[in-house]
Amino acid sequence: AQTVTQSQPEMSVQEAETVTLSCTYDTSENNYYLFWYKQPPSRQMILVIRQEAYKQQNATENRFSVNFQKAAKSFSLKISDSQLGDTAMYFCAFMGAMEYGNKLVFGAGTILRVKS
Amino acid sequence: NAGVTQTPKFQVLKTGQSMTLQCAQDMNHNSMYWYRQDPGMGLRLIYYSASEGTTDKGEVPNGYNVSRLNKREFSLRLESAAPSQTSVYFCASSLYGTEAYEQYFGPGTRLTVT
């Protein structure tokens, strides 16, 4: 079974600075997808970014980018120019590409606080 | 488009009571999911329905039942609620078997069992 580990329960960053959230995963599959979801205080789960394992190029979405290291099974999220609205819980998630049902396996989450 | 909707948003139950959480999506997705979120544990899959007419157990199915009523609707039932089922419940949907495989989530239901 796949597992996802987020080793940083809480982090804080000053507004306008850069922060990196860590995620490692364990799988025997070669083809899979990785995601970062954001959960602000409103509780809504919002997809931030996704990465296909077969793509070597790291995904980017505006101020959000990932560092995907397939051999190390590492998938970190970098947030540049942090904004107060980035304050949220961030979840890393894994989906096996060949697994029936597109099921997601989540990490325990990292609370990020952006300070002014 | 409303996306994924859930009712109710909040619920308080006494131990032993039953209730059904409702979920509907208007994105023409074929797959739907129920997760629970507990502090320090992320989201865990309770049940899922990869397509209309099928349902399968996830990681934590005990104490729950589901019904895929039609392509749009997927309900979660607690037959005899227990304090251990106090949690936030999320419904999600996706297009299984396509390149658009991301899951989209509803706003969640906060359930307290006393």
Percentage of the residues of chain B whose pLDDT score is greater than 70: 97
Which residues from B are below 8 Å from A100, CB to CB?
50, 56
Contact of A99 with chain B, judged by CB distance below 8 Å, is answered with no
Tell me the mean pLDDT in the region B12-22: 97
Confidence bin at B39 (pLDDT 50/70/90): confident
Would the pLDDT of B99 be above 90?
no
A99: pLDDT confidence band, cut at 50, 70 and 90? confident
Mark which residues 68-107 of B lie under 8 Å from A by CB.
88, 90, 92, 94, 96, 101-105, 107
Q: Give residue B100's pLDDT.
A: 61
Contacts of residue A44, Cβ cutoff 8 Å, sequence gap at least 6: B105, B107, B108
A116 part of contact set with chain B, CB < 8 Å: no
Considering only A27-31, A34-38, B8-12, B15-19, which range has the smallest mean pLDDT? A27-31
Contact check, Cβ <8 Å, A108/B44: no
Please state the separation of Cα A50 from the chain's center in Å. 8
Predicted pLDDT at B96: 78
CB-based burial label for A19 (10 Å; 0-12, 13-18, 19+): buried
Q: Rounded to an integer, what distance in angstroms lies between the CA atom of residue B21 and that of residue B14?
A: 16
pLDDT at B68 over 70: yes
For A37-50, the pLDDT digits (tens) are: 999 999 999 999 99
